[in-house]
Structure 1
Amino acid sequence: MLLQRLEALPMGSFHYKLLFITGLGWLFDAMDTGIIGFVLPVLGKEWGLAATQMGAIGSIGLVGMAIGAVIAGSIADRFGRKTVFSATVIMYSIATGLCAISWSYESLLLFRFFVGFGLGGELPVAATLMSEYAPTNLRGRFIVLLESFWGVGWICAACIAYLFIPVYGWHYAFLIGALPAIYVFFIRLHMPESVRYLLSKGRVAEAQKIVSDLENKLGVKYTGDLTVKPEEIKVEKPHLKDLWSRKYLARTIMLWIVWFGIVYSYYGIFTWLPAIVYQQGFAFVKTFEYVLLITFAQLPGYFCAAWLVDKIGRKYTLSIFLCMSGVASYFFGQSDTAQMIIFWGCVMSFFNLGAWGVVYTYTPELYPTSIRAMGSGWAAGIGRIGGMAAPFVVGIMLEAGSDMHTVFYMFAAVFVIIAIAVFSLGIETKQKNLENI
């Protein structure tokens, strides 16, 4: 009865506020991730860093993200979504601020690890919390819109790099990235704990109060007690082995393949994107402009996926977007003019980031409340391994004599493989209650 009342809540200011609050976390995450890419060339010159040292600074954050996603996802199923979300935001904010006062290469490596840990931990937990509050008929749309804040964050990072770093230096870029620490206070004031999580821990009175307060805020008039059905109270401890039980085995395999492949492709492509454009003979300013245009194409990709995900479903939307990402990657690798680079780059950005939005929607829906955050965290953690591997694989391929055509043939093949994994192993979760999937 209680969860039925939660599901029956009309769309209102609470849902949009929750989307905005969690979305800001996404925006700041993306902004920080993007800033390091623009800071590295300046820092490398100032500190006289070797290419391998600069690569290590970029990679150490991904190591932290992989570990953070696994650990934060697991403890969020034990200690709550809100608590872990707040803690990870504080961690990456403080660590980012400390990056601004780094006194050596080693100190920066340490701080960037903790930045990555906070970033990696926050994303799957935020998606889990949002999915547990969004109405069933609009859940997919809300999670994809949440992911769209990532595109805005990357644009903010590019603007900070363009406006602040040349004038004030790299220190100030990191200080701006520390601002989310203030934002934690808004999380504490306006973000409730997950009702489903509270019920899974037997904290019925807290869950009843949250639903009652939400009904009052949204002007819903109900009479009678907020009774809780016995099946709504499932006090269970999360165990890693549950991800590999008979019911969830195929789902876990599919998600790990998809996460590894999509993160591998994203970091492999977008880490090298400025260099690829620059190698085509364009000036640095033109390279920046072209990459910014390609980045802007992410936003309509998110919005299109947000509309389709509740129309044709998660499984089919994700399969289509991954296939089209492969097609765009293939033709981008063959582009040799500014017009073709921009066109296929925008198409690739549109479908790639739209697919990301669907992945974040789909992942938490495939597990029950007791292991939802843990399952999402492990999938994201496996994905980060792909993110660490891709830039090195591309570098090895180029050193071995492969041209950009071959590199993008490889990425196109990866997209097709993970699309097949979704289509063959995935189940449809559109319009289904989280308890019935």
Structure 2
Amino acid sequence: MSTTAASTGTGVPVVKSLVPARIDRLPWTRFHWMIIVGLGVSWILDGLEIQIVSSVGTVLQDRDTLHLSTGDVGLMGSIYLLGEVVGALVFGRITDRVGRRKIFMITLALYLVASGVAGLSFSLWFLLLFRFLAGMGIGGEYAAINSAIDELIPSKYRGRVDIAINGTYWGGALIGAAASIFLLNPDLLPEDVGWRIGFFIGPVIGLAIIGLRRHIPESPRWLMTHGRLQEAEDTVDEIEAGIEAHGTKLPPVDESKALEIHPQESVSYRQIARTMLRDYPSRSFLGFSMMVTQAFLYNAIFFTYALVLANVYDVKASHIGYFFFPFALGNLAGPLLLGHLFDTVGRRKMILATYGGSAILLAISAALFGAGVLSATTQTIFWCVIFFFASAGASSAYLTVSEIFPLELRGQAISFFFAISQLAGGVAAPFIFGKLVGDGSDRGPLTVGYFVGAAIMLAGGLIGWFFGVDAEGKSLEDIADPLSSVKRTEARGGTRFQGAAPKG
């Protein structure tokens, strides 16, 4: 269904393709479930890794293990986050150049090996090295996986799928928390054995799905924009044949949605900067704001909730884990139950509702916290409800940055904003709120901090409302023209084909 059209007048061939239209008109099938299971596991693995490291920190300080200091334990978490940032930036660039499929196989393999080897650590430097490499694998997954999911899932379902998958981070955290109860119990396993097994849980999950990934094709959209038109058509042919083999009748393709492009191999950093800062400045501001505001709130609360329970509410350290489960369940339920509304009610409305709703609830809880009327249980209930909305909002930030920029730089756009959010939220927020908690004797500073967090989250929601893009139900190519797109423009000075202008 692709044919070579006229040239642009500069010798560059123009190709007409229905690949995007064919993908977007597909009904939901087993093929799409394979995409979710095969690719969506990345977020589960990240949540698992963060929770395992959080749980084993105290054990690794014991003389019978690695005998780390508290600073060493903190460094172990920081080095993993740094690895994620580096991995996202490195593999985000590569996945836009060489394809989605190669990278999501490499990054998963890197994570599997590095996380498993970390469980064999005999010293701090060895542990930090392989924690960094495991983080690189997961960071690279984010860029390649979100790109592939967006480009393979039909436009009608893209929002709910992306948001639900992003929310499964908390499913991984729950697995890690549950596992730690057994693995770190010295009555069941020796101290120097249980924590090591914990680092093998992720690789076991990864091994279970790496075979499934071998059956996931390269993104036909990526193939199309890189001049591999026949491969793109053959890939869609195979997808359609597999769907029809199970008795599903496919609707006809709308020929009017054919896309005209002049393929190009790669995009320079100069083109990326020009596209994001000159062509799409409001979208860049939107992506930056949404990612940073949700990351600030998340890291501020998540990395200090144990301190609040222990120092303010006098919860025993051995009991804090039990308060984590309802907190994580609220985070997991939000994206799963609210995700479809981003496709039906709309992106901008739901961004404002989730960001704004969590901000209002946080402000209410801050007032009650400052008044001293909350207990550890009621505080946790508030957190559950707050993050039911905030988790869906945070997931929509990842959805937003992955769909509002041209296809040729999608992986890099995801990696840039992911890196910014990790550095801004992961470094500043825990430090600031940790200081505000103090010894728990004075609630005033933390109350102010909660109000500030609420204001920041509300600002993110308002920015999403005023600068957001109504992307629900739209093809990726309708949201942002590919850099290689060409349009017929008779009204523009007599050239038959001309580069497509940005859409906001």
Name which of structure 1's ranges 40-49 and 121-130 shifts more when overlaid on structure 2: 40-49
* Deviation digits for residues 382-403 of structure 1 (CA, Å, limit 9, x no counterpart): 1110212221222344459764
* Cα distance change, pair 119–325 in 1 and its aligned pair in 2 (3 A): same
Say whether residues 1:247 and 2:279 are aligned partners.
yes
Which of the residues 109, 114, 122 maps onto 2:133?
Answer: 114
Give aligned-pair identity as a percent.
25
Q: In the alignment, what sits opposite 1:238? A: 267
Equivalent AA in structure 1 for residue 279 of structure 2: K
Equivalent AA in structure 2 for residue 269 of structure 1: I
Q: In the alignment, what sits opposite 2:36? A: 19
Say whether residues 1:395 and 2:395 are aligned partners.
no
Say whether residues 1:264 and 2:296 are aligned partners.
yes
* Cα distance change, pair 234–96 in 1 and its aligned pair in 2 (3 A): same
Q: Could you tell me how far apart the structure 2 residues matched to 1:133 and 1:215 are?
A: 12
Alignment of 1:165-184 (within 5 A): 165-166=184-185, 167-168=188-189, 169-183=194-208
Shift of residue 245, structure 1, vs aligned partner: 4.0
Say whether residues 1:41 and 2:30 are aligned partners.
no
* Cα distance change, pair 36–140 in 1 and its aligned pair in 2 (3 A): same
Q: Could you tell me how far apart the structure 1 residues matched to 2:184 and 2:86 are?
A: 30
Q: Could you tell me how far apart the structure 2 residues matched to 1:199 and 1:302 are?
A: 32
Alpha-carbon RMSD across the aligned residues, in angstroms, is 2.4
* Cα distance change, pair 20–434 in 1 and its aligned pair in 2 (3 A): same
Q: Could you tell me how far apart the structure 1 residues matched to 2:45 and 2:53 are?
A: 13
Say whether residues 1:418 and 2:443 are aligned partners.
no
Q: In the alignment, what sits opposite 2:179? A: 160
Instruction: Please give the secondary structure, in 2, of the residue aligned with 1:179.
Output: helix
Equivalent AA in structure 2 for residue 266 of structure 1: Y
Q: Could you tell me how far apart the structure 2 residues matched to 1:374 and 1:314 are?
A: 22
Q: In the alignment, what sits opposite 1:3? A: 20
Conserved? CA contact 2:304–2:434, under 8 Å: no
Shift of residue 406, structure 1, vs aligned partner: 2.5
Q: Could you tell me how far apart the structure 1 residues matched to 2:360 and 2:379 are?
A: 14
Instruction: Please give the secondary structure, in 1, of the residue aligned with 2:392.
Output: helix
Shift of residue 381, structure 1, vs aligned partner: 0.9
Say whether residues 1:214 and 2:239 are aligned partners.
yes
* Cα distance change, pair 223–244 in 1 and its aligned pair in 2 (3 A): closer
Q: Could you tell me how far apart the structure 1 residues matched to 2:458 and 2:88 are?
A: 26
Bigger Rg, structure 1 or 2: 2
Say whether residues 1:409 and 2:416 are aligned partners.
no
* Cα distance change, pair 332–97 in 1 and its aligned pair in 2 (3 A): farther
Q: Could you tell me how far apart the structure 2 residues matched to 1:420 and 1:314 are?
A: 13
Shift of residue 264, structure 1, vs aligned partner: 2.2
Conserved? CA contact 1:305–1:358, under 8 Å: no
Conserved? CA contact 1:319–1:423, under 8 Å: yes
Q: Could you tell me how far apart the structure 2 residues matched to 1:21 and 1:357 are?
A: 19
Q: Which runs of 5+ in 2 are unaligned?
A: 1-17, 480-504
Shift of residue 104, structure 1, vs aligned partner: 1.4
Q: State the TM-score, normalizing by the size of structure 1.
A: 0.93
Say whether residues 1:70 and 2:70 are aligned partners.
no
Equivalent AA in structure 1 for residue 432 of structure 2: V
Which of the residues 318, 338, 346 maps onto 1:313?
Answer: 346
Shift of residue 49, structure 1, vs aligned partner: 3.0
Equivalent AA in structure 1 for residue 449 of structure 2: V
Q: Could you tell me how far apart the structure 2 residues matched to 1:328 and 1:125 are?
A: 35
Shift of residue 17, structure 1, vs aligned partner: 1.2
Conserved? CA contact 2:27–2:250, under 8 Å: no
Say whether residues 1:304 and 2:342 are aligned partners.
no
Which of the residues 444, 467, 478 maps onto 1:436?
Answer: 478
* Cα distance change, pair 341–396 in 1 and its aligned pair in 2 (3 A): closer
Structure richer in helix, relative to its length: 1
Q: In the alignment, what sits opposite 1:90? A: 109
Name which of structure 1's ranges 198-207 and 385-394 shifts more when overlaid on structure 2: 385-394
* Deviation digits for residues 297-320 of structure 1 (CA, Å, limit 9, x no counterpart): 123211232121012211221122
Q: In the alignment, what sits opposite 2:387? A: 349
Which of the residues 197, 207, 210 maps onto 2:222?
Answer: 197
Conserved? CA contact 1:263–1:384, under 8 Å: yes
Equivalent AA in structure 2 for residue 56 of structure 1: L
Conserved? CA contact 1:236–1:370, under 8 Å: no
Q: Could you tell me how far apart the structure 1 residues matched to 2:33 and 2:213 are?
A: 16
Q: State the TM-score, normalizing by the size of structure 2.
A: 0.81
Name which of structure 1's ranges 264-273 and 240-249 shifts more when overlaid on structure 2: 240-249
